[in-house]
Amino acid sequence: MVPVFNNEGVLPEGVHEASFEEFKERFVYNSRRSEIYAAFLILVNDLRAINCWVVYIDGSYVTDKELPGDIDVCWDDDDEIDWELLDTHYPIFFDLNPPRKAQQLRYRADVFPANIYEGNSGLLFKDFFQQNKETGNTKGIVKINIQL
């Protein structure tokens, strides 16, 4: 279950698991969020194609911000990933340098492997996502199992 936002308007510290239904019920409540969610579902289908089964959600989409610009996602790059298929059919997932235009156009998202290091912080993206960039405080993220 995804907890209520704290007084900073973000999720409390931790990795909060949610089903697709719970995620949609909690975060898809206006037209902007619906558009971003529809693009997120395209991302989920592409990740499933390479045998990725877990995503972590961050950014303004999982805050109290009414009109987020996009959604930030890191995907679990575990042993089941089909790296050959990823390399040949989904080079978009290796577009890690800003502004990541191809990712934004296709997915309305910034997308990163969960277990590689974010350049400036030295943290794995999964951990970097749990840092509030504005306050420096620790915050929560949402984890979704995307396996059918």
Q: What is the pLDDT of residues 29-49, one digit of tens each?
A: 999 999 999 999 999 999 999
- Domain for residue 15, yes or no? no
Residue of 4, 52, 2 lying closest to 23 (CA atoms): 2
- If pLDDT is split at 50, 70 and 90, which confidence band does 119 have? confident
Q: Is residue 8 part of a domain?
A: no
**Does residue 35 form part of some domain?**
yes
Distance between CA 8 and CA 59 in Å, rounded?
A: 13
Residue 10 is assigned to a structural domain of this protein? no
What the block records as the tokens of 133 is 């960039």
Whether residue 64 is contained in a domain is answered as yes
Residue 4 located in a structural domain: no
In a domain, 140, yes or no: yes
Cα 138 from Cα 16, distance rounded (Å) = 14
Give the number of domains in the chain. 1
What range does the domain containing 140 cover? 22-145
92 confidence band (pLDDT: 50, 70, 90) = very high
